[in-house]
């Protein structure tokens, strides 16, 4: 049986849609379903054109141009939206987040990224336990958004003894805000079968005391091993989590996204919401490759992904959002931020050879950790290319970045005619010699812009451990762009508070916003100002990263990412013009209207009355879930006055 070429199908469908739109001519244009007029339409097309109005028919853009021309498309049943001079642009496309994890985190014991001593941490957890006393003695307590480094700075890294002292018999796991460290109590360890003789898993470790006993902190795959003992969420629970995520997404103007570490559960949940008519964003799933399987048997890893992907939607996207699974996600390393220091580097992390009072930072012996051997990674990538998957590679350290680029180069050479769109996520450090390779190898750099601000995770110990030369080129979005790279934005939510405009602002200015509670700059003067001398992006580059470039990463650029006739009508209206607002106010913006496939799915005044009654009911239902804001990554100072970082790795 001949394999179906979904890539060719997408291209052909897009061309056909464009032809259909153009066939009617201008002599008697068909009435539109919706006309949005009287605004500043920022198309993000190749010419970066602007217009006054957009017409939508059958879920697609049928016209872009002047108000006068748009008026010819207004019929008896056309809904007219008066923009009042506001900016209309393509819907945001978040190229790297964790939607189900974000939705789930909204419903758990929330530590809100706050700086907590061990006593304060215990008090917060006890309050969550007391509020759910009916869960005694066996239901797991899961807490999220824990700023581990703040706790370590205020006291010391906590141990399971802190949790064992709580008034409960329940198993407890506390997940750090980077989602890669877990603190567990003794009951959780017992249920997971973790003891002194338990070996560290591939891609992770149990921190141990001098006698070899696990302390309670579980890093990377070790945390997953403990959490595997948690009874799975019910399907009803998972639907609730999916609804919570979608509510947060549409409020942010996210009309498409890629879930960057997905599995069969994600596929089932989002397909169920699609079938219920509740899916309000287009879903691309990046299916997670297990390093243990992928290193040992790359072909099996890709075969497993194909089995999951077979249940996803096929063909070209339609006005109604769908669920696709056409990407493989690979974690190449950990994170370059202190205290983890397990992002793979070309030269060692620095260590303090002096004292706390008189530090002397010198290169040590730690190069971080690379989770894939070169041969295994190249074999996995070739298997992905041959199976029709694209690959999305987590790479934070410069050695991981080089390893990924080397594997792409080998794949390009071995499959010169291969249709393959690799992306590297995060790229927090990269060797100068490797910057130009992104463009040369046609690799997208998917960056989390908010990390390019001064914050607990970027300065202080992280700066010391990276050393001055590496810190000077940390978060190199601007240098990558100058070297010709395609830049996409991925929020990595829920690793950070979900604030798209703050991220875009940081992408441009490389500094936070003291007036935004989600920004570290609001916490202390030390977090104000630019991160380093790395260049920022232009405003156009920042918008391209979250529209047309993200669409390219997801193979949707013929359907989404710009406002052009024939494309799907995924549109948002901004409260303020991102292209003209003062630089310091770039992060102080809101999405007032979100449209997906011609359907308005979220709206604030003055557009609130445009929501159809069923969508109003759905939004009201989801609002009960309260996708909360947070105080951001709060800081704590060490006795020396040095801020401590909390690390990121997704």
Domain-wise residue ranges, the chain: 6-93+562-623, 99-227, 287-553
Q: CA-CA distance, 215 to 219, in Å (whole number)?
A: 11
Neighbouring C-alpha atoms within 13 Å toward the C-beta of 512: 26
Question: Would the CA dihedral through 251, 257, 261, 264 be positive or negative?
Answer: positive
Confidence bin at 112 (pLDDT 50/70/90): confident
Q: With a cut of 60, say whether residue 480 has pLDDT above it.
A: yes
What is the structure's pLDDT at 177?
79
Question: Would the CA dihedral through 142, 147, 148, 154 be positive or negative?
Answer: negative
Domain 99-227: assigned CATH number: 3.10.310.70
Q: Note the Cα 257 to chain centre separation in Å.
A: 8
Tokens linked to 151: 């706790």
What is the structure's pLDDT at 486?
98
Q: CA-CA distance, 484 to 434, in Å (whole number)?
A: 12
Q: With a cut of 70, say whether residue 436 has pLDDT above it.
A: yes
Q: Which residues does residue 488 pair with via DSSP β-bridges, in sequence order? A: 446
Q: CA-CA distance, 439 to 163, in Å (whole number)?
A: 49
Q: CA-CA distance, 342 to 370, in Å (whole number)?
A: 8
What is the structure's pLDDT at 143?
95
What is the structure's pLDDT at 650?
54
Weakest mean pLDDT among 18-22, 111-115, 171-175, 347-351: 18-22
Confidence bin at 491 (pLDDT 50/70/90): very high
Confidence bin at 26 (pLDDT 50/70/90): low
Residue 124 · residue 609 · CB < 8 Å = no
Q: With a cut of 80, say whether residue 634 has pLDDT above it.
A: no
Q: With a cut of 70, say whether residue 136 has pLDDT above it.
A: yes
Weakest mean pLDDT among 148-162, 234-248, 375-389, 452-466: 148-162
* pLDDT tens sequence across 299-322: 999 999 999 999 999 999 999 999
* pLDDT tens sequence across 586-612: 999 999 999 999 999 999 999 999 999
What's the chain's average pLDDT?
90
What phi-psi label fits residue 516: left (phi over 0), alpha (psi between -120 and 50 degrees) or beta?
beta
Q: CA-CA distance, 529 to 535, in Å (whole number)?
A: 13
Q: With a cut of 80, say whether residue 116 has pLDDT above it.
A: yes
CB count in 10 Å sphere of residue 530: 14
What is the structure's pLDDT at 447?
98
Exposure string over 354-390, b if 16+ CB within 10 A, otherwise e: eeeeeeebeeeeebbbbbbeeebbbbbbbbbbeebbb
Query: Pairing mode, if any, of strands 486-489 and 571-574?
Result: unpaired
* pLDDT tens sequence across 40-69: 999 999 999 999 999 999 999 999 999 999
Q: Name the CA radius of gyration of the chain, rounded.
A: 24
What is the structure's pLDDT at 623?
52
What is the structure's pLDDT at 302?
97
CB count in 10 Å sphere of residue 130: 11
Q: With a cut of 70, say whether residue 358 has pLDDT above it.
A: yes
Please state the pTM of the whole predicted model: 0.86
Residue 206 · residue 222 · CB < 8 Å = yes
Q: CA-CA distance, 212 to 227, in Å (whole number)?
A: 21
Domain 287-553: assigned CATH number: 3.20.20.140
Residue 545 · residue 92 · CB < 8 Å = no
What is the structure's pLDDT at 495?
86
Of residues 302 and 625, more confidence is placed in 302
Nearest alpha carbon to residue 428 among 407, 397, 402: 397
* pLDDT tens sequence across 271-291: 999 999 999 999 999 999 999
Nearest alpha carbon to residue 345 among 423, 428, 464, 459: 428
| Residues 6 or more apart whose Cβ sits within 8 Å of residue 1 | none
DSSP string, 18-34: HHHHHTT-SSSPPPPSE
Residue 74 · residue 466 · CB < 8 Å = no
Residue 498 · residue 490 · CB < 8 Å = no
* pLDDT tens sequence across 399-415: 999 999 999 999 999 99
Class of domain 6-93+562-623 as given by CATH: mainly beta
Task: Say if residue 197 is exposed, middle or buried (CB neighbours under 10 Å; 0-12, 13-18, 19+).
Answer: exposed
Angle between the N-to-C axes of helices 235-251 and 613-623, in degrees from 0 to 180, rounded to the nearest 10: 110
3-class SS string, 415-483? CCCCCCCCEEEECCCCCHHHHHHHHHCCCEEEECHHHHECCCCCCCHHHHHHCHHHHHCCCCHHHHHHC
Weakest mean pLDDT among 9-23, 105-119, 459-473, 526-540: 9-23
Confidence bin at 17 (pLDDT 50/70/90): very low
Query: Which residue has tokens 């789930």?
Result: 104
Phi, psi of 79 (to 5 degrees): -85, 125
Residue 322 · residue 438 · CB < 8 Å = no
Nearest alpha carbon to residue 60 among 602, 614, 607, 596: 596
Confidence bin at 149 (pLDDT 50/70/90): confident
Residue 647 · residue 457 · CB < 8 Å = yes
């Amino acid at each position: 049986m001949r394999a179906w070429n979904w890539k060719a199908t997408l291209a052909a469908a897009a061309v056909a849609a464009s032809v259909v739109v153009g066939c009617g001519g201008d002599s008697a244009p068909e009435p539109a379903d919706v006309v949005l007029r009287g605004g500043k339409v920022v198309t993000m097309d190749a010419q970066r054109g602007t217009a006054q109005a957009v017409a939508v028919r059958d879920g697609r853009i049928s016209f872009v141009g002047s108000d006068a021309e748009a008026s010819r498309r207004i019929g008896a049943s056309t809904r007219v939206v008066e923009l009042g001079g506001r900016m209309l642009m393509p819907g945001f496309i978040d190229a790297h987040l964790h939607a189900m994890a974000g939705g789930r985190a909204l419903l758990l014991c929330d530590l809100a990224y706050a700086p907590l001593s061990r006593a304060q941490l215990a008090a917060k957890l006890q309050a969550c336990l007391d509020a759910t006393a009916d869960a005694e003695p066996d239901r797991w307590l899961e807490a999220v958004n824990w700023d581990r480094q703040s706790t370590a700075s205020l006291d010391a890294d906590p141990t399971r003894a802190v949790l064992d002292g709580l008034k409960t018999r329940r198993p407890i796991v506390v997940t750090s805000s980077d989602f890669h460290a877990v603190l567990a109590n003794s009951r959780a360890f017992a249920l997971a079968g973790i003891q002194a003789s338990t070996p560290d898993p591939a891609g992770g470790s149990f921190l141990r005391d001098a006698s070899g006993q696990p302390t309670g902190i579980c890093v990377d795959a070790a945390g997953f091993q403990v959490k595997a003992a948690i009874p799975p969420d019910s399907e009803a629970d998972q639907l609730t989590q999916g609804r919570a995520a979608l509510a947060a997404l549409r409020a942010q103007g996210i009309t498409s996204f890629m879930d960057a570490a997905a599995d069969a559960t994600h596929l089932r949940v989002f397909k169920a919401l699609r079938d219920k008519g509740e899916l309000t964003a287009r879903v691309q799933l990046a299916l997670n490759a297990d390093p243990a399987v992928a290193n040992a048997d790359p072909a099996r890893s890709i075969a497993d992904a194909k089995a999951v992907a077979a249940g996803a939607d096929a063909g070209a996207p339609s006005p109604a959002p769908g669920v696709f699974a056409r990407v493989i996600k690979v974690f190449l390393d950990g994170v370059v931020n202190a205290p983890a220091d397990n992002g793979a580097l070309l030269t060692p992390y620095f260590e303090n050879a002096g004292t706390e009072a008189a530090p002397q930072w010198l290169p040590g012996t730690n190069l971080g950790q690379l989770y894939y051997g070169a041969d295994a990674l190249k074999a996995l990538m070739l298997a992905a290319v041959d199976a029709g998957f694209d690959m999305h590679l987590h790479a934070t350290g410069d050695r991981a970045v080089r390893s990924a680029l080397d594997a792409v180069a080998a794949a390009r050479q071995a499959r010169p005619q291969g249709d393959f769109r690799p992306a590297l996520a995060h790229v927090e450090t990269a060797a100068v010699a490797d910057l130009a390779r992104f463009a040369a190898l046609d690799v997208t750099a998917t960056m989390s812009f908010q990390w390019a601000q001064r914050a607990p995770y970027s300065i202080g110990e992280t700066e010391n451990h990276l050393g001055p030369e590496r810190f000077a080129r940390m978060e190199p979005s601007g240098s990558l762009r100058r070297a010709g790279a395609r830049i996409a934005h991925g929020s990595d939510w829920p690793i950070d508070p979900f604030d798209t405009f703050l991220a875009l602002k940081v992408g441009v200015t490389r500094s936070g916003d003291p007036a935004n509670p989600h920004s570290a700059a609001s916490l202390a003067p030390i977090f104000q100002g630019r991160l380093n001398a790395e260049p920022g992006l232009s405003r156009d580059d920042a918008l391209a990263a979250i529209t047309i470039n993200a669409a390219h990463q997801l193979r949707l650029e013929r359907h989404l990412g710009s406002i052009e006739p024939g494309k799907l009508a995924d549109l948002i209206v901004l409260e303020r013009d991102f292209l003209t607002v003062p630089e310091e106010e770039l992060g102080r913006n809101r999405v007032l209207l979100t449209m997906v496939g011609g359907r308005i799915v979220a709206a604030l005044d003055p557009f609130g009355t445009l929501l159809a009654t069923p969508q109003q009911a759905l939004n009201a239902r989801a609002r009960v879930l309260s996708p909360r804001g947070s105080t951001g990554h709060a800081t704590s100072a060490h006795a020396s006055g040095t801020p401590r970082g909390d690390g990121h790795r997704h």
